[in-house]
Amino acid sequence: MKLHHHTVLSLAASGSVYIFSSSFTAALACFLSGIFIDLDHFLEYFYYFGFHRFSVRGFFRAAEDHVYRKFFLFLHSYELAVIFWFLSLAVIRRPWAWGFSLGFTLHIIADQIYNPCRPASYILSFRLRHRFDGDRIFPREIQERYRTRPRFWTRKIPVSRQDVQEPEGQGK
């Protein structure tokens, strides 16, 4: 999922958190964790390209195209989400903690739905068992289906009857 998608999702989630809890700290933690979980993508970039070739454009393009041979994604983990929820509800028990856990969890779920991956791709133990192998975590055949799928937001929405083409054989 792209940064702007995560930003919109995190903004909506944090707005909802604020409306229902009246806690600015919970809303802020939800927003920030929903975006900054992606900092772990830097590890893949530097592992693959090294430090000397860094560029912002290259970083985003590499992440979007899934060019890496290894996907560590240590923060993108349902196991970590469970640990954060346990800590926030049973140990810390502060609004910012459950706001953080909510933003973190929503980010992983959105990535799971949106990105071309296996059902277990966001389970750290699965990635570890497969030695973070990119072809096992984000298989090429799934990526191809992802790239060729129709996307609602890129379709041209007709604005008049002239823009609508009638199916063949159903003329006047």
CA distance 44 to 63: 9
| Residue 150 banded pLDDT, cuts 50, 70, 90 | low
Per residue in 85-144, pLDDT tens? 999 999 999 999 999 999 999 999 999 998 878 889 999 999 999 999 988 888 877 767
68-78 pLDDT per residue, tens: 888 899 999 99
Q: What is the mean pLDDT of the chain?
A: 85
Place of tokens 């379709």: 155
Domain layout of the chain by residue ranges: 3-147
- Calculate helix-pair angle for 95-114, 3-21, nearest 10 degrees: 140
pTM: 0.80
Q: Which residue has the higher pLDDT, 103 or 145?
A: 103
